[in-house]
Structure 1
Amino acid sequence: MDKIELDNLKYPIGDFEKPILIYPEAKDLVLDWKNDIASFPMRLKAAILNLPEETLNWKYRPQGWTIKQVIHHCSDSHLNALVRFKLTLTEEEPTIKPYLEDKWAELQDMTLPVEVSISILEGIHKKLHIIIESLSESDLEKRFFHPEHQIYFTLFELVANYAWHSNHHLAHIKQAIESEGKY
């Protein structure tokens, strides 16, 4: 498998691109992102409805995660997103705590049924939705520092990133299902 083919499997909807437009010019984009975030748990449930356990262990690419790991990763990642939103809204330019997602994906909770993480995602996304709905233009400009990347991110960028992240991993799950266990 060549690098281009592997990159297409890694990023089926493309890599995240930092939005160029800013609010209010990007008002329609923000609405789309809010809808993507709000609907993610429902779309995830629909994608895996009635999948047997064997299928949940299929990977979306060689050396990639299984469908089950992707779902558990999403609950971990989106939990961190919720904390980042709250820190940024309540503190002055906080420094967030990165986490080692690959190591988290190896912890024992990854063996739990996917319904556990889907329930977590449903709660997190209800909270994210109400917080994102309440953001003012000035709130969207608030930022946090990411020590791993050594840069500041605005809440505007975080909304865009988690809409992309939801769609990115949903595409991985669909890709794994369509591959019929090839990887």
Structure 2
Amino acid sequence: MSEDPRYPVGKFSGPVEQTPEQRRASIAILAALPENLRSAVQGLTDKQVDTPYRDGGWTVRQLVHHIADSHINAYVRTKRALTEDWPAVTAYDEKLWAQLPDARTLPIEVSLHLLEPLHRRWVALFGSLTDEQWQRGYVHSEDGRQKLANVLQAYAWHCRHHVAHVTELRKRMGW
């Protein structure tokens, strides 16, 4: 684990060429996210859920809702990449989304439930791709061309990154 609380599993190191076996391992990380996140937040009180995972960071509640927001966007972008020729996709302001009332007040169970079927669909879709389809992608308004093979790597990291935010907070706080 990293000593920087912003990056408990380290910073995303960027895309690398993956073998089919490595892609399957990344897909398995996506498949495990709903259960891993649910385990990470299991038994937390409302007060604990409203605790920032680090100084200046989001609360656990905002973090859980952020994961759902982020992965919904990524799933839709994945579908667009497979059905359109390098579509343009726009960034969203995740910091502002995290400040909206739903992210600040809804029970985390809402997003935990949402992530289960979302990840089942996303994992099934990724698991069905051909070598040629892994090379398809989209043009992100901030990050440029993104191949689906690289998107998979980024979101496998994203899953590990945010689950670790919660588990590391629990260790620090003795929860």
For the residue of structure 1 that corresponds to 2:169, the secondary structure is helix
Contact 1:58 1:180 in 2 (8 A): no
Q: Structure 1, unaligned stretches of length 5 or more? A: none
TM-superposition CA deviations, 1:31-68 (whole Å, max 9, x none):
11110000100111111111111111122211001111
Q: Structure 2, unaligned stretches of length 5 or more? A: none
Show the 5 A alignment for 1:1-40: 8-22=4-18, 26-40=19-33
Paired amino acid for 1:129: V
Aligned residues: 172
Residue in 2 aligned with 1:129? 123
CA distance in 2, matches of 1:56, 1:179: 14
Q: Are 1:77 and 2:83 an aligned pair?
A: no
CA distance in 1, matches of 2:96, 2:110: 19
CA distance in 2, matches of 1:146, 1:44: 27
Paired amino acid for 1:139: Q
Contact 1:75 1:121 in 2 (8 A): yes
| Runs of 4+ more than 3 Å apart | none
CA distance in 2, matches of 1:53, 1:108: 16
TM-superposition CA deviations, 1:82-115 (whole Å, max 9, x none):
0110000000000112100000000011110000
| Change beyond 3 A, Cα 1:77–1:105 | same
Residue in 1 aligned with 2:81? 88
Out of 152, 161, 165, which is 1:159 matched to?
152
CA distance in 2, matches of 1:20, 1:161: 10
Out of 120, 130, 140, which is 2:134 matched to?
140
Q: CA RMSD in A?
A: 1.4
Paired amino acid for 1:145: V
Contact 1:58 1:176 in 2 (8 A): no
For the residue of structure 1 that corresponds to 2:145, the secondary structure is strand
TM-superposition CA deviations, 1:86-145 (whole Å, max 9, x none):
000000000112100000000011110000001111111011011001111001000210
Tell me the CA shift for residue 153 of structure 1: 0.5
Q: What is the TM-score of this pair, normalised by structure 2?
A: 0.94
Tell me the CA shift for residue 171 of structure 1: 0.5
